[in-house]
Structure 1
Amino acid sequence: MERQEFDALVIGAGAGGMAAAARLQLLGYRTLLVERCDRVGGRASTVEIDGFRVNTGALVTETGGENGRLFADLGVDPGLRMPRRPVVLRLGRRDVPLMSGPTGFVAQRLLSAVGAISRRTGKRPAPGPTLADWLDKRNAKPALRSLARNLTSALYAAEPADVELVLFWDYLTKPGGMSPYAIHPEGAIGPWRVVADDFVRRGGTLWLSSDVQGLTFVGGRVSGATVRRGGEVVEVDVRAVVSNAGPLQTAELCPPDALPAGYLERLRTWSRTGALITINFASRRRLGPIDGLFFFSTTRRLAYACEVTGTCPEMAPPGWHLYLGACAPSPATGEFDLDAELALLRADLREHFPGFDDARELSVEVCAGTDWPAQRAVPGKDEPQSTPIPNLWNVGDGARPWAGAGQSGCVESARLAVESLARVVALHSPQPGLTRQVERVSPGAGE
């Protein structure tokens, strides 16, 4: 049985895992990144369907906040392109830019001022009541309820009943809470390929199509992992582990006697995954001016949509326009009727994209369940990055900091975990004769 040694093992090459591996390698840790899929990005990845680049989950990448900080710290250009109108809210028949033009300027300044006053005075909603509770208390009209649902759907893959009002408030008013969104010409996988290439260039080791089957322990700490790779089993000796597999799935990799009593049972009770449904479709003629990321106010289900080829025509064959529309089902955190949800989503797409029935439906992407969820935790209920095991950390959705959402929240969790790891796990020199296998990610990997 082959045996290898590394300073750190990162499980999963989603946004959180990719960011953690890149930061660890940047600090000088000999890092192994193991990903079960044949490509990086996780649910922020892309596959090719008949020449169309179709995203597997996430659509856009925030250019500022923690994403921007990661790219700057690594010194890489993610290759993102900003839509002409990065974020637009469709109110009835009116399209209101939220991050561009006069309305965008006013919206950003207003949120910034409200946030600054809230932080200075300490006045913010009390913990406990949900956004749905707040709407009920004010006898909110259907239009406002629909807008609230669409926003929580787009931001958290959840419904107003799942989201505490104070979390919603803190997210919208925190500094840089709503940074501009951009699109990559290779799809959502594009920025993470850039990060993966930088990770490998710095000496990091990336194993795709590989699966961590279990963690081994010595003296109450993780000492290694068993990895199935290419039909073979590899034993890996490590000094620390960062997992992007989710807190529950990470705990299940540990021997039962390595965990505190009741810890695994508590995580099984805690786990409530969110869901997201996306329809990718294409047309020879343009179906509507949805060039940036559009949020919707009054719909049956449609929360957001985009014409990705409006910014990145490379994502479709010449002469085609590529679109998507997405929503969280109801319930977003439980079992739902997929056929009924798709019927509601398609009805909205017909309304907002005249000619939708003549378009080519490329795929229906469903992020749901414990294996491929849109979110691994109800917003605001994430686990901390640290675990009861002193050299084991969680990152990604399920371990985001308060008011963290989307990829940026996952990337922030990675920075916090790596900072914690660096305080307790010292670097050491490579062992004599140690051979590291470095597998570079080719531009077409995973497609």
Structure 2
Amino acid sequence: MASRPVVQQQNRGVEGVPGGIKQKNMAAEGRNRRALGDIGNMVTVRGAEGKQQQLPQVSRPLTRGFCAQLLANAQAAAADKNKKPIAVNVGGVAANQAAKVPRKQPAQKKVKVKEKKSRRKAAAEDSSRKTYTATLTARSKAACGLNIKKEKKKIQDIDAGDLYNELAVVEYVEDIYKFYKEAENESRVRDYMDSQPEINVKMRAILVDWLIEVHHKFELTSETLYLTINIIDRYLAARTTSKRELQLVGISAMLIASKYEEIWAPEVNDFVCISDRAYTHQQVLEMEKRILGELEWYLTVPTLYVFLIRFIKAAAIPAAADPAMENMVYFLAELGMMNYPTMVMYCPSMIAASAVYVARCTLHKTPAWNETLKLHTGYSEAQLMDCAKLLVTCHFEAAAGQKLQVIYRKYSNPQKGGVAELPPAKFLLAPPAP
């Protein structure tokens, strides 16, 4: 650090007279007197007998090359007397460090460039040979049935087509579904049949089957149907209900869901008429108030439907929209919603993911589960297998049964692609190979 200002003062101090130093700043000279004694023209080296010997005076600025020359002369003199050379501090820079600075050798650089080019050429020839050998090896192994190439994990961007769609909220959609996954357990239905003395699983299935038909006749949105079933299950889990009031709970729950989801909700008299006037206008309003009070007006919950639309979108990538795939997923989801054990044992996101998985198996999509679906659903194929088997069983029973055929008839319609009439994916029910 001290070498740069010292050399600058030396260059300013020499005025053509050897050894002459300009006395402009005495304070600076006092601070650097010891250093100036070393870098001036009085350069000394320790002799053989420990005496200080004066080197020839110079009248030009010292450079690193000149320092190296001085060091070489000092080392040659010391070698003659079998003494180790001592480093000479010239110009504030150790002479041994100056000697280590390599000199430019343009001729050697040209040789090195030629050597590098020859090495690159040889490496290219070796790589071409290896490539040819690797190709032959791969062909021979492929002929023997050995697949040595591993498939790369490809994850599709399912929101790439909605970048300019403000309603898709691409910037926040991942955070929204992350919140849905965390909040679904708060509104998840627990097993309540043991606390209901007059209601059983079959009665609930009959009610759901009838409500799906009412929903279809009123031409309501899918969000209304899934929210209706969620409200019914949450209410029955919180309060004991008689057998006579079960249908009243159903129509009142659909009235609440319609007001929440629909633009033009059906009127109370419409539900009174659809129930064959089994309940009065006043009874429907009283049950509506009772349900809202029991649920504490908590209606904004992640239902099965919000996961279905996201997972169907992930299943349709990279191909265009697949109506058969979409109808099959909704068919299986409604079957699972009507099946009480499925709704109680599994959370909505798992039921939705299992419906997508079974639909792809039923339609013979390959692969049945990929990295894109695994990323957006959060479930692997092994995690979905138990729930998927229940959905396949529901599909098999709906095709073979004589009762509760509303869902089966709905999706046997050509407008729905007739997906209910497709053979169930029975191979999923087979035990795993040992």
Specify the TM-score bucket, using the shorter chain as the normaliser: under 0.3
Q: Which has the higher helix share?
A: 2
Instruction: Work out which structure has the larger RCO, using CA pairs closer than 8 Å and 6 or more positions apart in sequence.
Output: 1
TM-score, structure 1 normalization: 0.25
Q: Which has the higher strand share?
A: 1
Higher-Rg member (1/2): 2
TM-score, structure 2 normalization: 0.26
